[in-house]
Structure 1
Amino acid sequence: MNIIAIMNHVEALFKKVPVKELQAQLESKGFQVVYPEDEQDLIKLIENNARICGVIFDWDTYSMDLCKTVNSLNEKLPLFTFANEQSTLDISLTDLRLNISYFEYTLSSAADISVKIKQAVDAYKDAILPPLTKALFKYAEEGKYTFCTPGHMSGTAFNKSPAGSIFYDFYGANTFKADISISMPELGSLLDHSGPHKEAEEYIARTFNADRSYIVTNGTSTANKIVGMYSAPAGSTVLVDRNCHKSLTHLMMMSDVTPIYFRPTRNAYGILGGIPQSEFTKSVIAEKVAATPGATMPNYAVVTNSTYDGLFYNTKFIKDTLETKYIHFDSAWVPYTNFNPIYEGKCGMSGEAMPGRVFYETQSTHKLLAAFSQASMIHVKGDIEEESFNEAFMMHTSTSPQYGIVASAEISAAMMRGNSGKRLIQESIDRAIRFRKEIKRLRTEADSWFFDVWQPENIDKTECWKLDPKDNWHGFKDIDDEHMYLDPIKVTILTPGMTENGELAETGIPASIVSKFLDEHGIVVEKTGPYNMLFLFSIGIDKPKAMQLLRALTEFKRGYDLNLTIKNMLPSLYAEDPSFYKDMRIQELALGIHKLTAQYKLPELMFKAFDVLPEMKLTPHAAWQEELRGNIEEVPLSDMVDRISANMILPYPPGVPLVLPGEMVTDASRPVLDFLEMLCEIGKHYPGFETDIHGVYQHEDGSATVKVIKA
């Protein structure tokens, strides 16, 4: 961060001499000087270059209007203005709060002015850096000799080995200087929340509108277990979203609790839908408790918000209706909701605290904000017993946390503060909407077919679009009004193969084929369904990335229409089994997989598989204990009807369980098994299209087995 922008008018007005003197002084202090042509050029420069650390301009030319425009982008950015003695500084008390320094044009004053500018820039850097990161940087700069862990000693050990030196050079010196022991008192402790760690958590809580926040260094999978361990003691009953992440199943395997499930929905595409409003009512919950052996009225509930595919709930309705003391919103995929008004009322930290209630929001900071992998946060609104909560926190937290992960979580919060953070999120939303409209435009101009987008017809208004019961685009049956909303930045692209009524067409292009083509072109899809692909337009997506995706999609259409060979169009797939794919063409492959999907009646499967859930015969905890005792056996997947599953079974991604430990697939819930068999069958027939299914063991001979409790 070392670029100073000097407006060109300043240079021209005073025949360059004073400004050239200033430029030389600034460059001697390590600054790079650039000259925007005009105000519009300056604004673009600030928007596209985060390393701008100051703007110098002429007051008589630009005055307060420029200051306010820059302030709307970054209210902390230092502004330096030159004014003659005759200039009138027509500013109000409010204007004086802006970050402006005033200088006069004089020769031979450049050295003094450059010192003042450097001081202002240093103060700017200090103001935008959060507390723990600042302390960590300071520690790394001091270069202390340590005789404690970690053993690489700021990277010294790596440089004693040829392999280690390559590793060191790849990551750079500061990575290892900042990888330190918890023994450093000046940095406090993540485990007892002291010193800069405590300041960091307080800073994060203020940023995310929480009463209390915790930094978690092993992802939201761990954050979910921490919250559940505290909120649901052994012997209690928990309400769990059936579309939960597998980490919550692991929580129920670890803790002796009885689950009852919110009934989920899916559409024909397999897109995860919401929980109907009726499921949150006391009467429906009481019926489920009465029908579940050993269950009592629950005090802890978990809701996935948003869903993997970007559907938000009206969280105010859930808070007002659901009577549990603890409501846990697993918001792994949406850590940005506090920074744009379109998400108000759709996230866990929206609104005020409610007496006697506790709301949690667990967020994967690394997923859609800028943080290292595994950086996660727990946000709390309401009163918790902090010492007891911290015991649950420490059960799942290493006594040797990686400080780089901790600092990256904190810096992601710093990036979201103020106008610059709001601008980042707004730009993501705007870019996603432009991309959606471009797909629609190309579809209308296409001579035969093109991809579509899962969204309502009218997306001109920037908002989270409501799933209206009167509309057909979303494909969900009997949904509630004012309940579910689509996030603009979660873009689901639809491939041909399904009609508007959710039925399979005569022909189709399975999305897995398109995903493989995109991967060949350096584009990784977040999630691939039968005829849909999910793309996340996070703050790291820029215009070139979006354009490259558009180009790759049009290239796929061109290759498909030409009916190119697999060898030419998908060389990596061809390499999986050259003899099988010899002379096969892309349309033949698409039709073959599409026919297998039709054979299993996919749309009907998607609805039926979640209408009737497998029956719980043992709690997940009890089933896991049976497995640990060795009381299990392996049987063919097709033989698991009327057998109690020992493991959870789920296709990944999205990592949402279809069968939980202790559950039995019956004839009534047979569609769940049919869906799993369809996935296995596609992988068996077409090399390279195997689905990673947790809990299903696929063997070289094409068979698939599962573990069940011995009869």
Structure 2
Amino acid sequence: MRPELDAYLITDRSVEDIAVMDLGRCRRVFYNQEDFLELHLNILRGVNRRYKTPFFTALKEYSKQPTGVFHAMPISRGKSITRSHWIQDMGAFYGPNIFLAETSATSGGLDSLLEPRGPIKEAQDMAARAFGSKQTFFATNGTSTCNKIVVQSLVRPGDIVLVDRDCHKSHHYGMVLSGANVVYMDSYPLHEYSMYGAVPLREIKKTLLNLKANGKLDKVRMVLLTNCTFDGLVYNVQRVMEECLAIKKDLVFLWDEAWFAFARFTPTYRQRTAMGVANLLRETLRTEEAAAAYAEQQKELENADEEVWLNTRLLPPPDARVRAYATQSTHKTLTSLRQGSMIHVNDQDFKGEVEQAFHEAYMTHTSTSPNYQIIASLDVGRRQVELEGFEFVQRQIESAMAIRKAVASNPLLQKYFRVLTVADMIPAEYRDSGANSYFDARRGWTDIWEIWAKDEFVLDPTRVTLAVGGTGWDGDTFKTKILMDKYGIQINKTSRNTVLFMTNIGTTRSSVAYLIEVLVEIANDLDDLLDDASKMERRSFENRVTALVEHVPPLPDFSRFHDAFRESSITPEGDIRSAYFLSYDEDNCDYLTLGEALLERLRNGEELVSASFIIPYPPGFPILVPGQVISPEIMEFMGALDVSEIHGYRHDLGLRIFTQKALENLISGSGRGN
């Protein structure tokens, strides 16, 4: 339950009895009524092992040393600031220590992030212990860089990678860098709230079985999924890994846990983390029971068709390789400076197959001048969660539950707001437990342990998605004009008619109380506004609410890659790298303005192909990637978006597409599309 704690056995059993027992995680045996001092000293030693911060301590010691600076970085020791007449305010704002700890040297008790052998190496080893990995690597460029490092180190040009299509954009760019043949898998849509859920296991299995049936399973390298999603949807990681390994026993899994670093430190969450499941599979796959169960299932599946495989809870073979990677934004959910992230590795083939390629990819993407303050904060953040992570995460969950209860129990708030429940976010077919919500005003709280143990998808309670369509404001307006500008409440994510509140280990009860007060004030203001409104003003308000709540554009599925970027029309993988670089030549591209004329061309069957990533914010994932055929549904969705940012789209020129001539030349030159 609490792997971050030391366990000791206190007993009156005889030495002979103890000698034949499996003591599990117990570090030492003590006999009752004796050795109190030894027990006390052992407990303190365990605390000190976790309290130790090798790099942070080394950096503090370095800052105290008198030095003469004859290297790069004038800001080192604060010299360029204290000698200045014009930037003294910077020194006053940050204080002296941050500058005393700035250096470009890797000596003097410090270490190199690119070739760690001293305190950074020790700090990474301690992080691996804390997060349950076999190797952990620090990153000072955020999880976007971590994702590219892992993909580039594992995926070779031509390898097939299964990717959830609405994942973070860094993964899509990682596919370009690695030269992967990408198979995009669609998450289930939540049309009513303009957001996607997660990729059903049946979809993943169906994709793998299709590739197997067409003789391409040997090319499949990796399954890449986001766990948990921005909106809090969490996979059943054990079931996904087991059933995918039953189809391909050496499959690599990259779990993007950017928003899930805290999950290791509470038992309910831990069972759905990449490192927790990898360690579990390493143990269970070796057992005789697992081997017997697998052999029995293989007899039952002999000559079975695809539908039987899809409907069966598949078991992995005993010789399956456990190969799991997790990228985590420590700075997003634990204590770290911005861009502080970690890569956790639990790969049985890392030493023999991946280590050298990983080192090269790490060198490719990591700065030769990494920020020592970020590294130190990662070291300290690890110390914190090992010593008090359980307590902090429990408080985080309680804060989110308090928000749920307050909104669900207040009649005034219910007029304009609604917290989306488990049933709203996860369709019934993915909820074997039958649970509909974590809190109900009549029935109270729901015990989530059973839910998290069995359902295909669960909802992270610390994410509170609030439907705001009843206010007449869209999500982006409610976030910017109301919450941020008027009340100073900061949030990250919105959809067309929702806003997302995330509690974290820093959330206080005062912050929760202030949020509820603000929502009550907004509701009261709306009541007053409607009380004094004219008949036409009321109709206008009702029309805005109807447009946001009922007239929501349906989310489009991924269409397909154009034949010019596919090896065959039988399987769906596409060469995103070729499409990306084909657009570098302006002669290969054209621009089309959005509008009814473009929609009419698409509805009449004309094939137009995107030459760039099109990423609206929100939702923040590509609705078009290079080489993708543009569908009418995608253009209708894009036309209905009411957002200020659409990356890749030029308002002065329009949508960037490939010319027909460029596509024909590519097909004739490569022999594709046959």
Q: Smaller-chain TM-score range?
A: 0.7 to 0.9
**Would you say 1:184 and 2:152 are equivalent positions?**
no
Question: Map of 1:162-181 to 2, 5 A cutoff?
Answer: 162-181=85-104
Q: How does 1:298-697 map to 2 (within 5 A)?
A: 298-322=220-244, 323=248, 324-351=250-277, 352=279, 354=282, 356-383=321-348, 384=350, 385-418=354-387, 420-442=388-410, 445-446=411-412, 449-456=415-422, 467-468=431-432, 482-497=455-470, 508-515=472-479, 516-519=481-484, 520-563=486-529, 591=542, 593-594=544-545, 596-597=547-548, 601-602=551-552, 605-606=554-555, 609-610=556-557, 613-617=559-563, 618=565, 619-630=575-586, 631-638=588-595, 639=598, 641=602, 642-666=607-631, 670-679=632-641, 682=642, 690-697=643-650
Once residues 214 and 525 of structure 2 are traced to their aligned partners in structure 1, the CA distance between those partners, rounded to angstroms, is 55
Task: Kindly state the Cα deviation for residue 153 of structure 1 after the two structures are TM-superposed.
Answer: 2.6
Structure 2: 5+ residue runs without aligned partners?
A: 1-31, 283-319, 425-429, 439-452, 566-574, 661-674
Runs of 5+ consecutive residues of structure 1 not aligned to the other structure: 1-89, 102-119, 459-465, 475-479, 498-506, 566-582, 683-689
Q: Residues 473-523 of structure 1, C-alpha deviation per residue, up to 9 Å, x if partnerless?
A: 79xxxxx972101111111112245xxxxxxxxx95533343221112000
Amino acid at match of 2:119: P
Alignment map for 1:24-43 (pairs within 5 Å): none
Distance 1:265 1:162, change over 3 A: farther
How far the C-alpha of 1:433 sits from its partner, in A, is 1.1
Three-state SS of the structure 2 residue aligned to 1:226 is helix
Number of residue pairs the alignment of both structures matches? 542
Larger Rg: 1
Is 1:93 matched up with 2:27? Answer: no
* Partner SS for 2:623: coil
AA in 2 matched with 1:93: D
Tell me how far apart the structure 1 counterparts of residues 420 and 546 of structure 2 sit (CA, whole Å): 23
CA-to-aligned-CA distance 1:25-51 (integer Å, 9 cap, x gap): xxxxxxxxxxxxxxxxxxxxxxxxxxx
The match for 2:655 is: 706
Amino acid at match of 1:201: Q
Instruction: Find the aligned partners of 1:655 and 1:291 in 2 and give their Cα distance.
Output: 34
1:394–1:426 CA distance, 2 compared to 1 (3 A):
same
Residue 430 of structure 1: how far off its partner (Å): 1.4
Secondary structure at 2:499 match in 1: strand
CA RMSD, 1 decimal: 3.5
Quote the residue 2:200 is aligned against: 276
Q: Say if 2:82 and 2:88, in contact at 8 Å, map to a contact too.
A: yes
Change (3 A) 1:320 1:95: farther
Q: Distance in 2 between matches of 1:155 and 1:296?
A: 56
- The offset of 1:457, in angstroms, is 8.5
- 1:356-392 Cα offsets, whole Å, 9 max, x none, are 2310000011111111111110000123132321111
Matched letter for residue 330 of structure 1:
D
Aligned CA distance change for structure 1 residues 248 and 126 (closer, same or farther; 3 Å): closer
Give the Cα–Cα distance (whole angstroms) in 2 for the partners of residues 98 and 230 of structure 1.
46
The CA deviation at 1:646 is 1.2
1:285 partnered with 2:208: yes
Q: 3-state SS of the aligned residue for 1:439?
A: helix
Q: Provide closer, same or farther for how the CA distance between residues 266 and 518 of structure 1 changes in structure 2, counting only shifts above 3 A.
A: same
User: Which residue type is aligned with residue 708 of structure 1?
Assistant: I
Deviation at 1:269, TM superposition (A): 0.9
In structure 2, give the amino acid aligned to 1:261: Y
> How far did 1:182 drift?
4.0
User: Which one of the candidate residues 144, 153, 170 is aligned to 2:76?
Assistant: 153
Aligned residue identity for 1:305: N
For residue 92 of structure 1, report the CA deviation from its aligned partner. Answer: 5.1
Matches within 5 A, 1:98-177: 98=40, 128-177=51-100
TM-score by length of structure 1 reads 0.70
* SS at structure 2 position matched to 1:149: coil
What amino acid is the match of 2:201?
Answer: Q
Specify the code of the residue in structure 2 equivalent to 1:97.
Answer: L
- Please give the secondary structure, in 2, of the residue aligned with 1:261: strand
Q: Which has the higher helix share?
A: 2
CA separation in 2, counterparts of 1:183 and 1:472? 54
**Aligned residues of 2:579 and 2:626 also touching (Cα < 8 A):** yes
Kindly indicate whether the alpha-carbon contact (under 8 Å) linking 1:615 and 1:665 is maintained by their aligned counterparts in 2. no
Contact 2:413 2:520 in 1 (8 A): no
* Mapped partners of 1:280, 1:97: distance in 2: 50
